[in-house]
Amino acid sequence: MGTSMMPDISTLAILCGVGVLLQVADYATTRLGIERGAGREGNAMVARLMAWFGLRNGLILSKMVGVAVFILLYRYEAALAAGVLDLVYLVIVLNNHRIAQR
């Protein structure tokens, strides 16, 4: 057995699975904050999608892109990138939750 620097597939699967769950949490916390009038979408590209397709559909489209990114990270075994992106989305979700509670 060699000493590969690649994580085992279960670690990568967990990282990407968490990323997909964070996409769902981002959708829910963003929608809650906006519907409560507590905040607005801070990402200009997502805000544009919401303007074109409506709040729900625009957010769903943006989250579909997020899920696709995690699928690609899994496909290319990019565990470090998946972990970093998980942390970024965790901060976003926590911030959205804080704003939605106003």
pLDDT tops 90 at residue 2: no
Mean per-residue pLDDT for 28-56? 96
DSSP letter for each residue of 40-56: ----HHHHHHHHHH-HH
pLDDT tops 90 at residue 97: yes
Listed in order, strand segments (DSSP E) in 1-102 are none
pLDDT tops 80 at residue 1: no
pLDDT tops 80 at residue 37: yes
What is the pLDDT, as a whole number, of residue 19? 98
**8 Å CB contact between 87 and 18:** no
Q: DSSP class of residue 7?
A: P
Mean per-residue pLDDT for 30-56? 95
Break the chain into its structural domains and give their ranges.
11-100
pLDDT tops 80 at residue 34: yes
